Chains A and B, each alone.
Chain A
Amino acid sequence: MTLAQNSSAQGDLHDQKVADYKSPSGVTHLHTTTLSGIRTQSGFKFEKVDVSYQMLGKLSPARDNAILVCHGLSGTAHVAGTDAETGRPGWWDYHVGPGKAIDTDRFFIIGTNALGGCNGTTGPSSTNPQTGQPYAMDFPPVTIHDMVAVQAKLLDSLGIKKLFAVVGASMGGMQALAWAVDFPDRVRICIPIATCTAHNAMQIAFNEIGRRAIITDPNWNHGNYSETGRPAHGLAVARMVGHVTYLSELAMARKFGRRRQLETGHADQFSVESYLHHQGETFVKRFDPNSYLYLTRAIDEFNLFENATTEEVLRRIRSRFLVVSFSSDWLYPPAQSRELVRLLKRAGLAATYLNLETEYGHDSFLIENLPFANVLRNFLNGEYAPDTERRFAHLTPV
């Protein structure tokens, strides 16, 4: 299977069928735990929060090899391995597993579903203990920092004091950055990928189109929809817009061009249309429309430097960084990553930066991508070497 056949413009492994793909991690399982004492930034106090999570690999006796993997908008706790029920591989199976870039033979990997999500962690579709009904729009606004606070509580319950690394792309990259600031003593390496410190107007605009599609769907009903009458059309449109922003012009030209969808009898339909319809329909089956509203809102509201100067925020950080962007990513353009790196370095922090030449747009981190995998692997292995702290202490400005 070549890179081009396999990976061009197909989204993550959750939503695509890759012929003959077999996860090297075998069948894996998710866990759920219930945490108490979670208070959101907005001041809402949860009686309890369920967290769905996955563990891969083995925690070292020194407990120094834990890597938290944070998912993007539509991801789940299922990072790698084959799901026992659905038979589907995890969303980052290409890069996490035995012998993979994030090597489960070497590292202990934790994946969690984000607060506000809809795949096992408490979110708008969860039952509100006060009413016995789904929270729906009574769910409190959640932030990237809230998501990270829940992950930290989960790690407490697992007995993990310090992460070797926190890795995330897109929304997950925002979480990685929030980790480095909110829990500076718990993160040794921070790897934000294809992300930014705050959304710009264009990024907010695309999310707003998605949200608007959902709330103007007649089925949405202020968030109080039934299982059989969900605002599926609105969510599907939101996902279609999303998918366009995750791809690139070149990737779409290569994969679809102006070809027609002849084999399904829709000669009047362009391939790209049928692809987007399919992506929309698939997504609707597994994602809650209200979660989409809350998570995109959390992403749009995120600003690493809110309520403080950049100096004040960055002064707290103790991690070393690997920042990666992709040349064809126009949703999270490389300039945003470069600006992040500039701020980190001006604050005297050690940061390695790569802008990888790929054709696949924002999705470049999800697909099989050898240069990306090599950089990730080499960086993690290099930093995990025991003498690293001595060789590359922080570069502190005079």
Chain B
Amino acid sequence: MNSGIYETVTQWIPEKSRVLDLGTGDGTFLEQLVQTRHITGEGVEKDPELVARCVQRGLVVHQGDIAEGLDQHADGAFDFVLLLGTFQELIQPAEIIREAFRVGQQVIISYDNFAHYHVRLQVLFQGRTPITPALPTPWYRTQNLHFLSVADFQSFCRDTGIRETRRAFFNSHGMVHFRPNLRAETAVSLLETSR
């Protein structure tokens, strides 16, 4: 995933926040947050080998899927719930987000933009499911279940009563400020719920 996302998220998280990182991988980013933002955190990860590496880093980690990782916690147990790089793989994204808002005050989500112009051109001129630097996996091997765009995500937020309080867009050259639905490869949003 774009390293700009991690830098941005680090800036969004105040010192000493309580953070639940869903799909934490080997815990690299969570450990960084612990070291640089002095957060108290917990990771949720399915892959036992990655979980073992989180333990090695001295992180609190839960081996299980994202729904289970959320269900374990009391209401409002965290300031931030992170869903970085896994949003498109969730079977029931709306339900996961609802649970995330039960457990956390704010939710940070990153997703790949399926309306980037590389994608649009490939669909238009080749008539095939696109393979781009940002979406490198062919359709039969991808973990992604949902293909959404920046515009889709914004209407999803509107329809589900979620407010995007901050957002940032990236492509391989860096941050994207202009026409993100066309030019951004990945996006990250800081969300609050109005419900």
- A residues neighboring B (CB under 8 Å): 320, 338, 341-342, 345-348, 350-357, 371, 374-375, 378-379, 382-383, 385, 388, 391-393, 395, 397-398
A352 touching B62 in the complex, CB below 8 Å, given contacts A357-B48, A378-B55, A379-B55: yes
A346 touching B72 in the complex, CB below 8 Å, given contacts A395-B40, A395-B42: yes
Complex Cα–Cα for A392 and B40 (A): 6
Q: Is the CB of A352 within 8 A of B60?
A: yes
A-B contacts, 25 of them at CB < 8 A, read A338-B68, A345-B74, A346-B73, A351-B62, A352-B59, A352-B62, A354-B48, A354-B63, A355-B63, A355-B64, A374-B52, A378-B52, A378-B56, A382-B57, A383-B58, A388-B58, A391-B40, A391-B58, A392-B40, A392-B58, A395-B42, A395-B60, A395-B77, A397-B77, A398-B77
Q: Is the CB of B72 within 8 A of A395?
A: no
Complex Cα–Cα for A346 and B76 (A): 10
A397 touching B74 in the complex, CB below 8 Å, given contacts A338-B68, A350-B42: yes
- Which A residues are CB-close (under 8 A) to B71? 342
B26 to chain A, nearest CB (A): 13
B61 located at the interface, meaning its Cβ lies under 8 Å from any Cβ of chain A in the complex:
yes
Within 8 A of A (CB), among B27-72: 34, 38, 40, 42, 48, 51-52, 55-64, 68, 71-72
Q: Is the CB of A356 within 8 A of B73?
A: no
A360 to chain B, nearest CB (A): 16
Chain A residue nearest to B61 in the complex (CB): A352
- Which B residues are CB-close (under 8 A) to A379? 55
- Which A residues are CB-close (under 8 A) to B73? 345-346
- B residues neighboring A (CB under 8 Å): 18, 34, 38, 40, 42, 48, 51-52, 55-64, 68, 71-78
Which of B59, B64, B72 has most A Cβ within 10 Å?
Answer: B72
Q: Is the CB of B72 within 8 A of A382?
A: no
Among B18, B55, B75, the residue within 8 A (CB) of A354 is B55
Q: Is the CB of B55 within 8 A of A371?
A: no
Q: Is the CB of B63 within 8 A of A353?
A: yes
B27 to chain A, nearest CB (A): 11
A125 to chain B, nearest CB (A): 41
A389 to chain B, nearest CB (A): 11
- Which A residues are CB-close (under 8 A) to B74? 345-348, 397
Q: Is the CB of B58 within 8 A of A375?
A: no
Among A341, A355, A378, A397, the residue within 8 A (CB) of B72 is A341
Q: Apart from A347-B74, A383-B58, what are 7 other A-B pairs with CB-CB below 8 Å?
A: A350-B42, A350-B60, A371-B48, A382-B56, A385-B58, A391-B38, A397-B74
- Which A residues are CB-close (under 8 A) to B42? 350, 395
B77 to chain A, nearest CB (A): 5
Complex Cα–Cα for A379 and B18 (A): 21
Q: Is the CB of B64 within 8 A of A398?
A: no
- Which B residues are CB-close (under 8 A) to A355? 48, 63-64
- Which A residues are CB-close (under 8 A) to B77? 345, 348, 395, 397-398
Chain B residue nearest to A371 in the complex (CB): B52
Q: Is the CB of A353 within 8 A of B64?
A: yes
Among A338, A348, A392, the residue within 8 A (CB) of B60 is A392
Among B34, B38, B52, B62, the residue within 8 A (CB) of A375 is B52
- Which B residues are CB-close (under 8 A) to A352? 55, 59-62
A59 to chain B, nearest CB (A): 24
A85 to chain B, nearest CB (A): 38
- Which A residues are CB-close (under 8 A) to B56? 374, 378, 382
- Which A residues are CB-close (under 8 A) to B57? 382
Q: Is the CB of A351 within 8 A of B58?
A: no
Complex Cα–Cα for A189 and B57 (A): 17
Among A393, A397, A398, the residue within 8 A (CB) of B40 is A393
Complex Cα–Cα for A342 and B51 (A): 18
A382 touching B58 in the complex, CB below 8 Å, given contacts A354-B51, A391-B34: yes
A382 touching B68 in the complex, CB below 8 Å, given contacts A352-B60, A354-B48, A391-B34: no
Q: Is the CB of A397 within 8 A of B58?
A: no
A319 to chain B, nearest CB (A): 13
- Which B residues are CB-close (under 8 A) to A374? 52, 56
Chain B residue nearest to A325 in the complex (CB): B63
- Which A residues are CB-close (under 8 A) to B52? 354, 371, 374-375, 378
A322 to chain B, nearest CB (A): 8
Chain A residue nearest to B63 in the complex (CB): A354
Complex Cα–Cα for A398 and B62 (A): 21
Chain B residue nearest to A372 in the complex (CB): B52
A6 to chain B, nearest CB (A): 22
B75 to chain A, nearest CB (A): 7
B17 to chain A, nearest CB (A): 11
A341 touching B62 in the complex, CB below 8 Å, given contacts A375-B55, A382-B55, A395-B42: yes
- Which B residues are CB-close (under 8 A) to A351? 60, 62
- Which B residues are CB-close (under 8 A) to A385? 58
